[in-house]
Amino acid sequence: MLRGVRRVEVTGLSLPVVREGDDLAELIVSAAEVHGVGLRSGDIVVVSQIVVSKSEGRVMPLASIEASTRAHRIARLTGKDPRHVEAILREAVDVLRVRADGLIITETRHGLVCANSGVDLSNVGENNVSLLPVDPDSSARRIRERIRELRGIEVGVIVSDSHGRPFRRGAVNVAIGCSGIEPVLDLRGSKDLYGRVLQSKQVCVADELASAAELVMGNADEGIPVAIIRGYRYRASEEGAAAIVRPREEDLFR
Amino acid sequence: MLRGVRRVEVTGLSLPVVREGDDLAELIVSAAEVHGVGLRSGDIVVVSQIVVSKSEGRVMPLASIEASTRAHRIARLTGKDPRHVEAILREAVDVLRVRADGLIITETRHGLVCANSGVDLSNVGENNVSLLPVDPDSSARRIRERIRELRGIEVGVIVSDSHGRPFRRGAVNVAIGCSGIEPVLDLRGSKDLYGRVLQSKQVCVADELASAAELVMGNADEGIPVAIIRGYRYRASEEGAAAIVRPREEDLFR
């Protein structure tokens, strides 16, 4: 291989079924060793929100949720379970769109604009819903600190979730939590091939890393909730994924 | 490494400066060999739009552009060169937003919603603008067919560009052209870990592949316009990236 060639490797890790209270960092470190990839300083660990939510006890039985009048009304319109709708409404600060085909777009307490406030019926067994972590940046930081404690290494951690977007079909994996990595690189002021100074280039590398991770995480039934990304030189930062959320007043599209 | 471990490798390729009429497929095949990575059937070749545009002669001297009254008006408002604005307007079917800080969001003839219709002043030398390829799906197909002709192998090809998005800060690389790869995977009907049938999962793998590629393409001054992605098992398809564009009537956000 030519010297200086840039190469990034993305490796998927399967985990045992995750339960509330599980030490996710320890499961990840063990899985990395069993899979023969190990973990090294400078690696990025991308963890799907569903296993973070499970380890943090963010799974609720539908039977424990009492649906409000508003939830019943939206449930009738969308064909959803009223208790599922109630969980969606509780996680939302704003309901942006409700559509008869079942789509509910909300803004979550984290500022994420996504379907169903990220409240999901998949991969949690019948009659349960999973909620997003309360503070995904803290979740990422705890996993990073615990990996440091267990193995004495410094990694970056991203908590990812699959989100739809306006204008383009299909969901892509994005970073809802992040620790140790500068999430948005500001290249303004750097120069192009001809020495021209760039005016407006900011790149959301945290979302690009999350998207790269989904290439090995694959489909829902395969149980690969973690990816190790090796070879990408990120800028260290204590800024979380909350910095990716565009404040309303800056947002051109609402 | 554990048997059956999923791993995807992303390798960046530098190219010589690309000029109109250059055989991009040949440059890519040679670069892959020089870099020691080669090209194999099943690889995905992600090519930055800027080198595709250059090879297709989609670079114009600003001096050759006569700005209309409307372009002059928007130029005064945004502080842009009126000839740059004129090029932006010619590539657009609709102007969605104009802001005093210089931001112009348009819908291009391809249906892409992006800044400046993708018309760029970077990496084309002083006093020139680059335009997006006329038909990026055809560009991708031509590169794919020419690689097949040169080496007898079947690869997928994506033409990528960096786009901003609503709700989230920072641009990410997306697929504006695509050939050989199913761009949006429809997982509806597949089952989760607990056997529950997924209701609404569509994944835009073409955009995720483009985002993964940017991890090695890096900053503007580094001249790495191509990435080879190896190890990702895509579904073969003749559907292009045009299929990613969400038709207006389906779009919740306008």
CATH of the domain at B158: 3.30.1330.100
pLDDT confidence of residue B221: 55
For residue B83, what is the domain's CATH number? Answer: 3.90.1660.10
Distance CA A213, CA B169 (A): 20
Boundary-marking domain end, from B129, B158, B174:
B129
Structure tokens at A97: 């769109």
Residue B4 in domain: no
pLDDT confidence of residue A252: 64
B190 and B231 both lie in a single domain: yes
Please determine, for residue B220, whether its predicted confidence score (pLDDT) is greater than 60. no
Q: What is the number of CB-based contacts under 8 A between chain A and chain B?
A: 259
Please determine, for residue B76, whether its predicted confidence score (pLDDT) is greater than 90. yes
Q: Are the Cβ atoms of A172 and B215 closer than 8 angstroms?
A: no
CA distance A85 to chain B (A): 16
CA distance B137 to chain A (A): 16
Boundary-marking domain end, from B79, B109, B129:
B129
Q: Are the Cβ atoms of B221 and A192 closer than 8 angstroms?
A: yes
Distance CA A163, CA A115 (A): 7
pLDDT confidence of residue A1: 60
Q: Are the Cβ atoms of B207 and A170 closer than 8 angstroms?
A: yes
B190 and B69 both lie in a single domain: no
B143 and B238 both lie in a single domain: yes
Question: Quick one: pLDDT band at residue B253, thresholds 50, 70, 90?
Answer: low
Distance CA B138, CA A147 (A): 47
pLDDT confidence of residue A124: 82
CA distance A217 to chain B (A): 8
Instruction: Give the distance between the most distant pair of CA atoms in chain A.
Output: 65
pLDDT confidence of residue A2: 67
Q: For residue B94, list its beta bridge partners.
A: B107
Determine the average pLDDT of the residues in B167-189.
93
Q: Are the Cβ atoms of A5 and B215 closer than 8 angstroms?
A: no
Give how many domains chain A has, as a whole number. 2
Kindly report the three-state secondary structure assignment for every residue of chain A: CCCCCCEEEEEEECCCCCCCCCCHHHHHHHHHHHCCCCCCCCCEEEEEHHHHHHHCCCEEEHHHCCCCHHHHHHHHHHCCCHHHHHHHHHHEEEEEEECCCCCEEEEECCCCEEEHHHCECCCCCCCEEECCCCCHHHHHHHHHHHHHHHHCCCCEEEEEEEECCCCECCEEEEEEEEEEECCCEECCCCECCCCCECCCCEECHHHHHHHHHHHHHCCHHHCCCEEEEECCCCCEECCCHHHHECCHHHCCCC
Between β-strands A104-108 and A92-98, what pairing exists: parallel, antiparallel or unpaired? Answer: antiparallel
B81 and B113 both lie in a single domain: yes
Structure tokens at B130: 């680059």
Average pLDDT, chain B: 92
- Contacting residues of A for B37, CB less than 8 Å apart: 1, 5
Give the residue numbers spanning the domain of B71: 60-129
> Which residues of chain A, if any, have pLDDT below 50?
none
B41 and B83 both lie in a single domain: no
Report the residue of chain A nearest B161, measured CA to CA: A203
Q: Which of B113, B190, B207 is facing A211, going by the closest CB pair?
A: B207
Determine the average pLDDT of the residues in B212-233.
87
Contacts of A128 by beta carbon, 8 Å cutoff, 6+ apart? A59, A60, A61, A62, A121
CA distance A138 to chain B (A): 20
Distance CA B178, CA B213 (A): 14
Is residue A228 within 8 A of residue A37, CB to CB? The reply is yes
Distance CA A63, CA B209 (A): 40
Between β-strands B128-130 and B113-115, what pairing exists: parallel, antiparallel or unpaired? Answer: unpaired
- Contacting residues of A for B123, CB less than 8 Å apart: 192-194, 196
Boundary-marking domain end, from A107, A129, A151:
A129
**pLDDT tens digits along B185-194:** 988 777 776 6
A64 and A46 both lie in a single domain: no
Instruction: ipTM value, please give it.
Output: 0.95
A13 and A25 both lie in a single domain: yes
Residue A185 in domain: yes
**pLDDT tens digits along B18-45:** 999 999 999 999 999 999 999 999 999 9
Between β-strands A104-108 and A202-203, what pairing exists: parallel, antiparallel or unpaired? Answer: unpaired
Question: Quick one: pLDDT band at residue B200, thresholds 50, 70, 90?
Answer: low
Contacts of A202 by beta carbon, 8 Å cutoff, 6+ apart? A184, A185, A186, A187, A188, B169, B170, B171
Q: Are the Cβ atoms of B202 and A126 closer than 8 angstroms?
A: no
A50 and A72 both lie in a single domain: no
**pLDDT tens digits along B92-144:** 999 999 988 888 999 999 999 999 999 998 878 889 999 999 999 999 999 99
Determine the average pLDDT of the residues in B49-64.
95
**pLDDT tens digits along A168-204:** 999 999 999 999 999 999 887 777 766 777 666 899 9
Please give the helix or strand (H or E) that residue B156 lies within, else none. strand B156-163
pLDDT confidence of residue A221: 55
Contacts of B30 by beta carbon, 8 Å cutoff, 6+ apart? none
| Buried/exposed code over B115-129 (b: 16+ C-beta within 10 A; e: otherwise) | bbbbbbbbbbeeebb
pLDDT confidence of residue A220: 53
Tell me which residue of B80, B67, B139 sits closest to B115, measured CA to CA. B80
B120 and B222 both lie in a single domain: no
Residue B204 CA to its chain's centroid (Å): 14
Report the residue of chain B nearest A214, measured CA to CA: B208
Q: Which of A5, A123, A173 is facing B193, going by the closest CB pair?
A: A123
Q: Are the Cβ atoms of A215 and B196 closer than 8 angstroms?
A: no
